[in-house]
Structure 1
Amino acid sequence: MERPGGAGSAGPRAEEPGAWAAGGPGGPGTGTGTLSGAAPGPARAGIAGLSTPYRVLAGAVMVVVGLVTCVHLAMVFLHVAPSNTLSKEGGATIDDWIYPEFEQNWKLFAPNPLQQNISVHVRAEIVDADGDRRTTRWMSLSAEDGEAILHNPLPSHAHQNELRRAWDFYVNSHDDKNRSTGSRGALAEAYLRRIVMLRLGAHDYGGTVDRIQLRSSARRVQAPSWSTEKIGTQPMYRLLAWWTVSTTDLPEGGVAAAGAAPGEEAHR
């Protein structure tokens, strides 16, 4: 008498290649079994799972991103590093890459960080249609910028830095008596006048601006409540001479500036 699965058995043995795996009582005729030698491999993940064209595209994108990152890091390094041959020869290219979005400013980490709030004020001499002259009150241009930035999730770069950088440019190119200290002094004056006239052009003063005068107000930041340091917060002013407005100072399309403007200060 033969044993099931012996030499005379019609079914294949479990250990033979191609044998059906136990798939339930239905056996091979039920269609639920699988061949033991046909197990699928693991699915490929990531870039390897993409088709060939997409793998090539993804590789090209990564190469471009890597190159741009390397160039950016090199530009920033040359910008902040001490003057050297590369930074001297490629100074214009480095500045074009860095300014204004990637400008580096280390004053926050300097031994003496900024401890003053500086605002720029302007007043104008207006000539009306009858030829009469009058002088406006001092108006805080910095306060206007502050109002434009306050509660604005995406403030413009001009409101944040245009006036501040123009004033720093002027101060750094002039001495305490407002005399130019180099070839860039005239450029700093012209740049500042154009910015001021652009701001005044947004107001209606009922006449034509003939002359303008600027000043800065610097107040030291109050010491924190836990500090014993005594700091005076009274404003310190730097007054510039009157500047006569010329056609080169006027922004395109801006000829007059007028009326009582918001942000004006009560004192003269």
Structure 2
Amino acid sequence: MDAYDEEPEALNGPDGPAGARRAGGPGTQGEGTGPEDTGPGGTGPAVAGSGDAADDGAPEQAKRAGLAGLSPRYRLVAGGALAVVAAVAAVHLGMVFLSLAPANTVSKRHAKAVEGWVYPEFEQNWKLFAPNPLQQNVAVQVRAQIRGEGGDLRTTGWTDLSAEDGAAIDGNLLPSHTQQNELRRAWDFLGTTHGTDNRPVGVRGALSEQYVRRIVVLRLRRDEGLDRTGTIERVQVRSRTVNVPPPDWSREKVSTSPAYRELPWWTVTGDETGAGAR
């Protein structure tokens, strides 16, 4: 056999490089013989997985995120707060539903509680279950009695405030909420809190009168400038209602003659306008 066909005895022995490779000892490739494979301080071989020791607790921390990461005392407080919020939300939704739903045994029995919860902050101006749309054009008109500087009293003509709002909205891409709803909602509020004799029903009836009176007086002062010619002492409000004609294909017959609802004269007080009669 040729001398190059086998390794010498010194190379194959336990102390040789080949023996070291077989035993996995020092000198084997990739087994920590270089400086980069030494442990801390470079004094010995690195321990496998020692660089991941700092990440061992990461999964546990991720599992304890949110409420689970709080102490038992704070978890109890947070759970109680969430329960209170959920209970209040459920009560609120129930009250609003009863105020909008058709009259039933529950809404009749707890009518005062429902009204006390909903009005005035959460009032809804629509009805549930296929409401009947308004089929009338309602115009609110006002006239005033002015006390002149010489002491004479004169009465103005009727001013159609609804027509002024309609003219401001017509062609306006972004009409204000006040122009669209303030006067209309105020008059609807007054109509639902007054009887056929135009007398207020309950505390809300008196409040609706004051609300409408403030609106019309401020509008007269701003738009008509009546306070510059004297002092507004009294105002009178009426509505003009006309039914919307049915379409040509309908057999329904309705009157298109205007109907008026005229309220008595109201005395304007100074705390309402700052310029009324005292």
**Cα distance per residue 1:207-228 (max 9 Å; x no partner):** 344543322233556889xx96
In structure 2, C-alpha distance between the alignment counterparts of 1:217 and 1:103, rounded to whole Å: 26
Query: Which residue of 95, 102, 105 corresponds with 2:122?
Result: 102
**Cα distance per residue 1:27-47 (max 9 Å; x no partner):** 244779623995625251651
Comparing 119-128 with 189-198, greater Cα deviation is found at 189-198
Which amino acid is 2:271 matched to? E
Determine the structure 2 residue equivalent to 1:214. Answer: 237
Determine the structure 1 residue equivalent to 2:6. Answer: none
The Cα shift of 1:252 comes to 1.5
CA contact (8 A) 1:76 1:98 kept: yes
Partner of 1:102, secondary structure, is: coil
Is structure 2 residue 84 aligned with structure 1 residue 34? no
Aligned residues: 237
Q: Larger relative contact order (C-alpha < 8 A, sep ≥ 6)?
A: 1
Q: CA RMSD in A?
A: 5.0
Q: Any stretches of 5+ residues in structure 1 without a counterpart?
A: 12-19, 259-268
Q: TM-score, normalised by structure 2?
A: 0.58
Determine the structure 1 residue equivalent to 2:105. Answer: 84
The Cα shift of 1:10 comes to 6.7
Determine the structure 2 residue equivalent to 1:245. Answer: 266
The structure-2 alpha-carbon separation of the partners of 1:92 and 1:59, relative to structure 1 and needing over 3 Å to count, comes to: same
The Cα shift of 1:122 comes to 0.5
In structure 2, C-alpha distance between the alignment counterparts of 1:62 and 1:74, rounded to whole Å: 18
Identity of aligned residues (%): 30
In structure 2, C-alpha distance between the alignment counterparts of 1:61 and 1:157, rounded to whole Å: 40
CA contact (8 A) 1:198 1:254 kept: no
The Cα shift of 1:50 comes to 4.5
The Cα shift of 1:107 comes to 4.3
CA contact (8 A) 2:142 2:216 kept: no
CA contact (8 A) 1:217 1:235 kept: no
Q: TM-score, normalised by structure 1?
A: 0.60
Structure with the largest fraction of helix: 2
Q: Any stretches of 5+ residues in structure 2 without a counterpart?
A: 1-12
Equivalent positions of 1:153-164 (< 5 A) are 159=182, 162-164=185-187
In structure 2, C-alpha distance between the alignment counterparts of 1:127 and 1:10, rounded to whole Å: 116
In structure 2, C-alpha distance between the alignment counterparts of 1:186 and 1:71, rounded to whole Å: 26
Which amino acid is 2:195 matched to? S
CA contact (8 A) 1:142 1:163 kept: no
Which amino acid is 1:254 matched to? T
CA contact (8 A) 2:242 2:256 kept: yes
In structure 1, C-alpha distance between the alignment counterparts of 2:210 and 2:98, rounded to whole Å: 33
**Cα distance per residue 1:94-131 (max 9 Å; x no partner):** 21211233334444754631133322111113232334
